[in-house]
Structure 1
Amino acid sequence: METTKQYNTRAILGSLLICGFVGFFSETALNVAISNLMDVFHIEAATAQWLTTGFLLTLGILMPVSGLLLQRFSTRQLFTGSLVSLIVGTFVAALSVNFEMLMVARVLQALGMGLLLPLMFNTILVIFPPEKRGEAMGFVGLVIMFAPATGPTVAGILIEYLSWQYIFWLSLPFLVIGLLVGLKYLENVTEVTKPRIDLLSVILSTIGFGGVVFGFSKAGEGTGGWGSAVVLISIGAGLIALVLFTLRQIWMRDPMMNLGVFKFPMYIVGLLMVLSCMLIMMSSMIILPMFLQNGLKMSAFTTGLILLPGSVLNGILSPRMGRLFDRYGPKWLVIPGLAIVAVMMWSFSFISPASSIALIVALHIGIMIGISMVWMPAQTNGLNQLPPELYPHGTAVMNTLQQVAGAIGTAVAVSLLMGGTEQYLRESAAPTAPAELSNAMTFGSHHVFLFAMLVTIISLVIAFFIRRVIVDRAELKTT
């Protein structure tokens, strides 16, 4: 179905991308400052981890409700609300004098991002015709990959020469500019239908998705592991609530999250591709910096520089991959992309402390190129098959499950890393020697890369079923 109304698509997309970039930048930039914040606020690592866990938990709770919010509030109302939350959160973070104040700021930032991300995807689906969505989604991919990539590097410079507060002071003016541009050009692009709020669905989704994300995040911290009572109770309660939530959505006439999106096969294939990319990214990309810092004894700043070329290239290629998708469809991008990622992951399973920096940079670039060929083309193709009335629900399901996949990928990666490291040290004759500790970290990392390769191969098999969705005014067809 083509949109008949003409929008200032460049200005609208520009304002959304500016705000999204700053939001993703501040999300990852703070990770580099964790050690510094532990000293400044006199807190333990487990407490400091809440700056990340709390952010993810807030997203996990808000994302399922985003489909409902997109229908109850106008585009401008949601945009303004998300930007006000981001600006206030960033301002409070810059002024924080203790951990509690910074934690509140992080929750406000997460609320802003939780509203902005689904709004960005939904707005693109409405204002761009299907034959131009690939390129537009590619620019979103640029933001999603490039901002987190530059975050650690820029933060490392700011912390070294100024202080951690400047991470937020740097972000603040760009958010204000994005808000002003959006207020001038952003129009209300969706119809406000005011669906009834089902309180029980909201409670079940909060317990369900929040419990699962929290449980896996705690397991990923590596403190209590999978046997921790908190982890088991959180995941168990979350899964039970999710089953009840699913049943309620099926029975309801006007569900909060319309699971009818799963009736569209290409949406399912696209969703599986996106979730596999998230698993691959989170499981491997959280381990690679740990390997570089603990295995090769490199600084956080140097690690950021090593990972920067691949991530920047991924961001640059995303719009180009979007244009190729618009022209040729997803199959000729997704299948080769996954094949490249599988080869790179297999190669990473052979790295050692003696491996050259050039080899690691080259392999990382290969992964990032492959991911750019898969993520946005598969996501756009899947969303293209949905009728317009399901756009809010399709983006809500996709964004919610991405948070879950990210938490799972992180937890599995940390568990595999720790398990492999402990196994190596148990069999080592000198388990406390620095060289053996590096070898143990390498051995554990190999487990993670092999897991990521297995996920990639499974995704590659699924990718052979992908078909291009062609939208023909009144009906949706696949070829």
Structure 2
Amino acid sequence: METKKSITNLNVKSIIAVLVFSGFISTFNETILNVALSSLMVEMNVTAGKIQWIITAYMIVVAVLVPVTAFLIQTFKTKKLFLVAMTILLVGTICAACSGSFVMLLISRILQAAGTGMIIPIMMNTVLAVTSPQNRGSVMGLCSAAITLGPAAGPTVAGIVLQSFTWHALFYILIPIIIVAVILGSIYLNIETQLAKPKIDFISIILSTIGFGGFIYGISGISEQGKNLKIVALIFIIGLISLILFVKRQLSLKEPMLDIRTFKYRAFSIGTLLVMISMMTVFTMAVMLPMFLQGALKKSTFIAAMVLLPATLISGFITPIGGKIYDKLGGKTLLPVGFAIILVPLFILSRSNVHTSVISIIILFIIVEIGIGVTLSPSQTTALSSLPKECYPHGIAIMNTLQQLAAAIGSSLFIGIMSASQLKALSNQATAQVASATGFSTATLALSGFVLIGFCLSIALRENINKAKI
């Protein structure tokens, strides 16, 4: 918890700018290689199953590190923790730039993921601590913009860079940018904190690592062809059992690594579900739309990336505005309206076919991203504002961990639905293009159902907002 004296002497704007900038860099790394996987398979002579580990391993490590960082935030000073996280990210980026083999690149990505898994909780926890409740929505909007704009911009920027350079250039470009973030952090993150220094529980760390790692690996393996489903199922079950044991242990400890009791605050629980649905939507569409554009409309990889660009840019602009609207109106009206804005164009997209125009897809996806922009940040702010200040590290860690789970579940579940529907259409003598469109339509309709649930939950949250006066 920050002391009153330390907060009043802080250059809050500089701190927020450094943290949001660093958060964007770290999440940008998450998807930067997505469009290069096919060429990496050929260059490194590996199978599709192996190359998927470049993405899967990143997601697993981030999910594992986020809850551990809740403990670290209460044990080490913000500046020291930030510099360690960014240094790990820098070392991983340098190693990735110099990688000549699959194993080296995989290790480099794991290092990058470790830095990312620490940076996001540090950013959100520090921002909440130094920001007044009246401005919290606006600032959380900036944090949300970094978290969503980074992964969304990764494939687009990479698509542009790869037109002229090899994939190594993606990391060489990032090296000086990360160095600048490290220098700025060392200058501006002079924050005095009172550290609780909870007792470390190694059993919790082991259970958390196996649990979240196994669960995400299992979920990610659902939609990947060529995997041994028995092994995937076994790892998933081990992960699930470990998570159950982890939860039971946290409830029995005096000083839990991750305080599960945070879920007793109903507004936090519902708000976290809304965040998960928003993240699931944006990550799933970012994967499925390019597949639809290339498979059903026969557009190039570059065109597919460019179709996502307008919505990505508008999302980065709208998300902070959504936070400012939240500061003025609160979440009571904003959240249901935001989910309605997502639901309508998403349902229209679910009616897409091989004759759908690219322009209509661009416009509809822009509207979806506008809806995400006015729901994600207010959902986060509503959820976290319902917690006592001492619960912030745990609430942030829980929320960010579940965001990673939502991204993994979303991309795997809906791509699985898309593939199954596509195969069914092919068995009914449909052409490859028509089958691709049918798969996209079915998966998008299923996603619309989840967004409808989010809309209903946002209305249910109104009662809690009224009672708590959030």
Q: Provide TM-score, normalisation by structure 2.
A: 0.96
Question: Which moved further from structure 2: 186-195 or 395-404?
Answer: 186-195
Percent identical among aligned pairs is 36
Question: Which moved further from structure 2: 136-145 or 267-276?
Answer: 136-145
Give the counterpart letter for 2:265 in structure 1. Answer: F
State the partner residue of 1:47. Answer: 50
State the partner residue of 2:442. Answer: 447
State the partner residue of 2:319. Answer: 318
**1:34-85, Cα deviation, whole Å (9 max, x unpaired):** 1121222122211111110110111121122121111111101110111100
Q: How does 1:146-185 map to 2 (within 5 A)?
A: 146-185=149-188
**1:138 maps onto 2:136 in alignment:** no
Question: Which moved further from structure 2: 415-424 or 25-34?
Answer: 25-34
**TM-aligned CA deviation for residue 25 of structure 1:** 1.9
Q: Partners of 1:402 and 1:189 in 2: how far apart?
A: 29
- 1:43 aligns to what SS in structure 2? coil
Q: How does 1:200-211 map to 2 (within 5 A)?
A: 200-211=203-214
**1:354 maps onto 2:345 in alignment:** no
Q: Partners of 1:456 and 1:470 in 2: how far apart?
A: 20
**TM-aligned CA deviation for residue 251 of structure 1:** 1.2
Q: Partners of 2:306 and 2:40 in 1: how far apart?
A: 22
Q: Provide TM-score, normalisation by structure 1.
A: 0.94
Q: Partners of 1:271 and 1:190 in 2: how far apart?
A: 27
**TM-aligned CA deviation for residue 447 of structure 1:** 1.4
**1:69-103, Cα deviation, whole Å (9 max, x unpaired):** 11111101110111100111111111111111111
Q: Partners of 2:245 and 2:26 in 1: how far apart?
A: 33
Q: Partners of 2:87 and 2:217 in 1: how far apart?
A: 26
Q: Partners of 2:2 and 2:168 in 1: how far apart?
A: 46
Q: Partners of 2:160 and 2:96 in 1: how far apart?
A: 18
Q: Partners of 1:468 and 1:127 in 2: how far apart?
A: 29
Q: Partners of 2:287 and 2:415 in 1: how far apart?
A: 8
**TM-aligned CA deviation for residue 147 of structure 1:** 2.4
Q: Partners of 1:92 and 1:243 in 2: how far apart?
A: 36
Q: Does the CA-based 8 Å contact 1:284-1:452 persist in structure 2?
A: no
State the partner residue of 1:22. Answer: 25
**1:379 maps onto 2:374 in alignment:** no
Q: Partners of 2:93 and 2:176 in 1: how far apart?
A: 10
**TM-aligned CA deviation for residue 198 of structure 1:** 1.1
**1:459 maps onto 2:454 in alignment:** yes
- The unaligned stretches of length 5 or more in structure 2 are none
Question: Which moved further from structure 2: 136-145 or 417-426?
Answer: 136-145
Question: Which moved further from structure 2: 177-186 or 331-340?
Answer: 331-340
Q: Does the CA-based 8 Å contact 2:331-2:465 persist in structure 1?
A: no
**1:118 maps onto 2:121 in alignment:** yes
**TM-aligned CA deviation for residue 3 of structure 1:** 7.1
Q: How does 1:75-474 map to 2 (within 5 A)?
A: 75-224=78-227, 228-428=229-429, 436-467=431-462
Q: Does the CA-based 8 Å contact 1:295-1:437 persist in structure 2?
A: yes
Q: How many residues are matched?
A: 467
Q: Does the CA-based 8 Å contact 2:3-2:192 persist in structure 1?
A: no
Give the counterpart letter for 1:421 in structure 2. Answer: Q
Q: Partners of 1:456 and 1:391 in 2: how far apart?
A: 27
Question: Which moved further from structure 2: 364-373 or 201-210?
Answer: 201-210
Q: Partners of 1:3 and 1:447 in 2: how far apart?
A: 53
Q: Partners of 2:78 and 2:43 in 1: how far apart?
A: 40
Q: Does the CA-based 8 Å contact 1:123-1:189 persist in structure 2?
A: no
Q: Partners of 1:17 and 1:309 in 2: how far apart?
A: 21
- The unaligned stretches of length 5 or more in structure 1 are none
Give the counterpart letter for 1:166 in structure 2. Answer: A
**1:159-218, Cα deviation, whole Å (9 max, x unpaired):** 111211111111111111111111001023532222111111111111111110111111
**TM-aligned CA deviation for residue 469 of structure 1:** 8.4
- 1:187 aligns to what SS in structure 2? coil
